[in-house]
Amino acid sequence: MAHTTFPSDLPVPPDDGACAHLPGSQLPSILLPATSGERVDLSTLRGLTILFCYPRTGAPNETTPAEWNAIPGARGCTPQSCGFRDEMAKLRQLGVAHLFGLSTQDTPYQQEAKERLHLPYDLLSDEKLEFTKALKLPTFDWKSSSLVKRLALAVVDGKITRVWYPVFPPDRNAEDVVAWLESR
């Protein structure tokens, strides 16, 4: 099955309360490598930032194992990323100044995904888990790697104002953010 689609029988991730502490939190001052080649400190950005976090995008020609599909909330990183790509113009119209995706994958891996998926925004690498640990973001282990669970944050001037967690289905995350922005 292609990475841009996913099975209809995926297990729904439960709301385990792992992000309940985030609303009202200030982002930590950590420089994260971006696919642009720059380093971004999300805590210093002014205006509205949308940051969506995802476990990992699949590589071209990579077969998605059944074990991955069995993890609630793991599958769907590419559809989530493409959803934000497709809603980019609307997000900008609704006041989003900055949009980023974040995973624990390294920057060269993310650069390939950004180019292949034609993403008009940067992906940030938290390969060392500094940002994830500082905010106590939920994670899970996969093949000796710690991956961040799927979530999204609305951040205004470095302060978290809204959290989407768990995110399911992943391809609707951007639409859910747009609906929230339209309702404000």
Q: CATH number for the domain including 133? A: 3.40.30.10
Q: What angle do CA 67, 125, 8 make, to 5 degrees?
A: 30
Is 93 part of a structural domain of the chain?
yes
Strands of the 159-164 sheet, one edge to the other = 122-125, 96-103, 48-53, 151-156, 159-164
Number of domains in the chain: 1
Structure tokens at 107: 């920057």
Is 53 part of a structural domain of the chain?
yes
Ordered per-residue pLDDT tens for the chain, 184 residues: 345 567 788 999 999 999 999 999 999 999 999 999 999 999 999 999 999 999 999 888 888 889 999 999 999 999 999 999 999 999 999 999 999 999 999 999 999 999 999 999 999 999 999 999 999 999 999 999 999 999 999 999 999 999 999 999 999 999 999 999 999 9
Is 15 part of a structural domain of the chain?
no
Reported pTM: 0.95
Helices 77-86 and 107-117 pack at an angle, to 10 degrees, of 60
Tell me the residue range of the domain where 79 lies: 31-60+67-151+160-183
Is 5 part of a structural domain of the chain?
no
